Amino acid sequence: MTMRYLTAGESHGPQLTTILEGVPAGLTLTVEDINEDLARRQKGHGRGRRMQIEKDTVDILSGVRHGQTLGSPITLAVTNDDWKHWTNIMGIEPLTKEVEEVKRKVTKPRPGHADLNGAIKYGHRDMRNVLERSSARETTVRVVAGAVARKFLSELGIQVAGHVTEIGGIKAGLQVIDDLQDLKAKTEASPVRCYDKNVEQEMMDAIDTAKKNGDSIGGIVEVIVEGVPVGVGSYVHYDRKLDAKLAAAIMSINAFKGVEFGVGFEAASLPGSMVHDEIAWDEERGYYRLSNNLGGFEGGMTTGMPIVVRGVMKPIPTLYKPLQSVDIDTKEPFQASIERSDSCAVPAASVVAEAVVAFEIAKAIVEQFGQDRMDVIKGNVQRMRDHAAKF
C-alpha cells in the first residue's frame, strides 16, 4: 500500500473533501495543523472577493482518534460557506421549472480554461458542469492533504517552505537562503510571499495595475525542502524517479505551465563545469556537494542537498476585460463570462506548491522506509542517514 489521496467536490458545491489512504498510524494530527495552511492559502495581494466569503477550516471525519492517526483512511472536509446562495444552481435534485430559471447555464467558454475542452470531452451543453470542478478552488483540499504530509515530514526532521520569486516580470534579487525558518517568517509577513523586501512593493504595484486594466499577471514560485535523506527515489525505472514525480505534481496545479530544478533551464546555456555539483567529504558531514545546481537530485534520487523546485504560473485566464469566445449554442462570437476576480494568485499558488511537493516526498518516504507505523519509519530513516554518513 502507498500513500494517496482523492479529492471530491465542486467550487460552489456544499463542501470539498479529500480522503487520504496510507498515512501511517501514530502520527500526531489536529485540525490546527491543517487550518494554518488553509489560512495561508487564502492570503496574498491580488486575491478576489471569494477569499472574503469563504473562511476555510477543516473537519476531520475519520482516521484520527484522540489526536493520533489510526492507519485507516482519513476523511477531511472543508465546508463552502457560500453554498447557501448556490443551492438551486448546484443542487443534486432533478430540475424543476423554478430551478431551471436560476440555473445560470454557461454556454460561452472562457479562453485559457477547461470549459470548451471539458464540454466536448464529457458532452456537457452547460459548461458549469466543467468549470465547477476544474476551478482552482479544488486546491483547497490539496493543501489539506499537503498539511498532513508536512506534519508527517516534520516528525522526521524534514522542513518544507515556499516563496514567490517573480510576479509579472518583477524578479526577486538572488539571495542565499540557508535558514528555512527565516524564510517562512519573512514570506509569511509579505503580502506577496516574497523573501526580497526590496521588490515587494513593485510586485504589489504590478498586481494593482493589472487589476486596474482589467487584466491579470502570473509569476514563479519556489519550494525548498531540507532534511530529506540521500537516495529517496530511484534510478532503476522512469516512474520511480522522485524528481519526475515532483515535476508532475507541480504541473498538476491549476495554471502551472513549467517546472525546473536547481538552475533548471539555465543549464542549457552553461558549460558542464558550471552545472554539475562537485562532491566532498568530511568526518562530521560525510558526503556533501560544493554547490546545489541540480536542485538536490541526481539520477532521479535525492542527494541529501536541499530540494529546490520552481513552477511557472500563467496569468489567471478570467479577466475583467474578457477575451473573445464563441457561444456553443448560437456559434456567435461573444466576450467570455467572468467567474472570479483574482488579478494574481501567485502568492496563494506558492502555498499549493508546498503542499503538492510535501505530499510527493512523504509518499516516497513511506514507500521506501515502511508503511504502517511512525516509529518504524522513523527508525528506518535514521538508519539510512547513519548508513550514508558512514559509507
Q: What are the C-alpha distances in Å from 154 to residues 149, 151, 158, 378, 387?
A: 9, 5, 5, 11, 21
* Residue 358 marked ligand-binding: no
Which of 30, 350, 52, 34 minimizes the C-alpha distance to 188? Answer: 350
Distance (Å, whole) CA 201 – CA 299: 40
What does the block give as the cell for 91? 443542487
Cβ-Cβ contacts under 8 Å for 79 (sequence gap 6 or more): 14, 15, 57, 59
* Residue 254 marked ligand-binding: yes
Distance (Å, whole) CA 358 – CA 65: 23
* Residue 146 marked ligand-binding: no
Computed from CA positions of residues 146, 12, 78, 72, in that sequence, does the dihedral angle turn out positive or negative? negative
* Residue 186 marked ligand-binding: no
* Residue 340 marked ligand-binding: yes
* Residue 292 marked ligand-binding: no
What does the block give as the cell for 342? 483574482
* Residue 134 marked ligand-binding: yes
Q: What are the C-alpha distances in Å from 144 to residues 7, 13, 36, 189?
A: 10, 18, 10, 22
Distance (Å, whole) CA 345 – CA 252: 16
Contact 133, 12 (CB under 8 A): no
* Residue 280 marked ligand-binding: no
* Residue 315 marked ligand-binding: yes
* Residue 41 marked ligand-binding: yes
Amino acid identity for residue 267 in this structure: A
Contact 280, 290 (CB under 8 A): yes
List, in sequence order, every beta strand (DSSP E) within the chain: 4-8, 15-21, 58-62, 64-65, 68-69, 74-79, 159-167, 170-171, 219-226, 256-261, 279-282, 286-289, 297-298, 301-302, 307-313, 324-326, 333-335
Cβ-Cβ contacts under 8 Å for 178 (sequence gap 6 or more): none
* Residue 53 marked ligand-binding: no
* Residue 128 marked ligand-binding: no
Residues making up the annotated binding site are: 41, 47, 133-135, 254-255, 299, 314-318, 340
Q: Residues annotated in the binding site for FMN, as ranges?
A: 133-135, 254-255, 299, 314-318, 340
Q: Which residues are annotated as a binding site for NADP(+)?
A: 41, 47
